[in-house]
Chains A and B, each alone.
Chain A
Amino acid sequence: MRVLIVEDEKKTGEYLQQGLKEAGFVADVSLTGDEGLHLATSFDYDLIILDVMLPGMDGFTLLRSLRERSNSTPVLYLSAKDLVEDRVRGLELGADDYLVKPFSFSELLARVRTILRRGRTVDQSLVQVADLEVDFLKRRVTRAGKRIELTAKEFALLELLIRRKSEVIPRSLIASQVWDMNFDSDTNVVEVAIRRLRSKVDDPFEIKLIKTIRGMGYVLEPPESA
């Protein structure tokens, strides 16, 4: 997976590049819009992370020129101004998603993966991680052959974690996906929900699957990759 980062802030660009590389992506950084457009049209990227405010050619102009050339590479744009018109404009121009600065890296990574996953994978009806098994059709959870009863919200939370296994899921994404809380809300609730889920899925067993990544979020992964 190859990602292009167009970001004039040098530090941000470098850290994003490092973070994405360590997460298994190939990442290029461009400091100006003109160079970014050149790179985007010369190479075949899977995703472009685009800062809206750039010296010279700004992000929206770059995005427009890209779409005018029938280049449909997915674009995730970053904005420092959280204005409705900016949001609408970017999405109208054909961007796939946006993030408002300051954002957390785990949030960015989760969004990047969501965009890249779109249309590529068919949701499996049965997912297994170690001895934990979730059957989405029957809405049944078993671990080591034992049936585990979950509430609807607990099931939705587990579904989110297991479908994106080995990915760090930020708390804000959990609040938004499970409870439809699409704004900065009290994320202590997510902590409580995770604790409850653990008490049913992890606590009775020796191997712990749900891990807390401090400051980032939660991840469900098989023990050997830890």
Chain B
Amino acid sequence: MRHWRNSLTFRLIFLFTLVTSVLLIGLGSITLYLTDRHFLELDETYLKDKGMLIREISEHTSDLNHLENRIRSLLSSQTGLNVLLSIKGRVLYQSPGFSLPPGVEERLQSSTAESIIEWGSGKERMRGMSVNIAQSGHDPSMPVRLIVAIDTEHHDHFMSIFRAWLWFYLLIAILLGGLLSGFVARKALTPLRQITSRASQITASQLDIRIPTQDAPAELASLAQSLNSMFERLGRDFERLSDFSTDLAHELRTPISNMLVQTQVTLSQPRQTEDYRETLHSLIEELERLSVMVSDMLYLAKTENSLETPTRTEISLDEDVRQLIEFYELMADEKNISLQSEGQARILGDRLMVRRAISNLMSNAIRHAHAGSTVRLSIAVDHAQTELTVSNEGDTIPVDIQPRLFDRFYRGDAARSHPAMEGSGLGLAITKAIVKAHGGSIRVESDAGVTRIVLRFASV
């Protein structure tokens, strides 16, 4: 079971819920803030309004008793409004049950006139302001002080209910959003699941199954296409591999059956020591062939799969060709073939691998050259490319079988081949693998009795 954090559905749900939460919580907070502010503004207007009214009355009433009566009758219809009016420290009017807790009076005095101050006394929360009253109508030496305040309890009550409902709604909305996003995510990922189930049907025996790409969404169509082309390549490789296994079994079968029969026949009746020796010698020959074949196959596999990565040193092609000619000239001489080389170039590569590649070509060319002809090795540099051509005069290779020359175990003249004289049948395949490992290319040209194999490398 994979970790839940790796699930695409989970990630989508998580991200969607996260975004919804952030948006909704933001909206909720703004709403709360603005509502609160709105109440504050309402209170401010109300207090200013009432403060103004009382100031008006007190400025136009000089008789203090009369003033008190007027204020009292004014306030009788205003529930929740508290007033404290004092002249020179003497309280002229104080709403019943209203008093200022310690410290609030100082805060009111130090604040600018008509700005809101909040305080809490017990469970009650109050908002109030002091209002300036001009001295006219009174004795100027007597300062008049007016404080108006209202109890905000009804606001707080509303706000707490409002807040509770808002958060409750947000919670439900976020949960619902999460559920909905889960549903949407599953729905959106359906094509992916279809691709998965289709791909899981593909096995070694059913490599021809492909993922349908027409109905897939655009984002997934390219994935499906790359998967399809991967299956295509895998299918081809798999086919090549199974062909190779078949060829291999066939190649091994002949020498093994030779050895088996020969040994059994030899042992079927008593013989001269010389006969036993002869059998053993013949066994060695077969075993040597097998041994070479196994080594060559391993080498080929390693080179093709880049297990044997070429080192990159500067090598002189003409020097290697010269040394290889020294090696092969005896064999060529036996067939009355002459070896010639021309041109010079340097390339980057693995000396041993490159020599092996050229050696295989020379051995091949000498084997297929007509007696008395010349095998030519020419090196040509053209811009960034270096070409090494090995050509021999021999039978023209038909165009249709030219590409198969580099296949494993392919022997051009199958009918006439003398297994003991042939190599493992892997020489040209190895050469091709080496050239490819060097980032080069190989091609064959054959016409009018001349066969040329051309290796192409990048120049130094």
Residues of A near any B CB (own CB < 8 A): 82-84, 100, 102, 104, 153, 175, 179-186, 188-189, 192-193, 196, 214-216
Contact = CB atoms under 8 A, between A and B. Distances in A.
Interface residues of chain B: helix, strand, loop or mixed (majority): helix
A193 B295 contact: no
Would you list the 6 A-B pairs with minimal beta carbon distance, nearest first?
A: A215-B284, A179-B327, A186-B363, A192-B330, A102-B291, A214-B281
A117 to B, nearest CB: 26
Nearest to A180: B323
A183 B356 contact: yes
Pick from B288, B296, B328, B330 the residue with the most CB of A within 10 Å.
B330
Contacts of A196: 330
B447 interface: no
Nearest to B331: A189
Interface in B271-307: 280-281, 284-285, 287-288, 290-292, 294-296, 298-299, 302, 307
Contacts of A102: 287, 290-291, 294-295
Nearest to A152: B326
Contacts of B423: 186
Contact of B363 (A153, A180, A185): A185
20 contacts: A82-B295, A84-B308, A100-B295, A102-B287, A102-B291, A175-B327, A179-B323, A179-B326, A180-B323, A181-B327, A183-B356, A183-B359, A184-B292, A184-B295, A188-B331, A189-B328, A189-B330, A192-B331, A215-B281, A215-B285
Contacts of B307: 83-84
B355 interface: yes
B401 interface: no
A192 B334 CA distance: 8
A213 B112 CA distance: 123
B352 interface: yes
Nearest to A179: B327
Contacts of B421: 188
B35 to A, nearest CB: 75
A102 to B, nearest CB: 4
B288 A215 contact: yes
Contacts of B290: 102
B331 A183 contact: no
Interface string B332-370: 011000000000000000001001100100010000000
Nearest to B359: A185
B308 A193 contact: no
Contacts of A100: 295
Nearest to B280: A215
B48 to A, nearest CB: 91
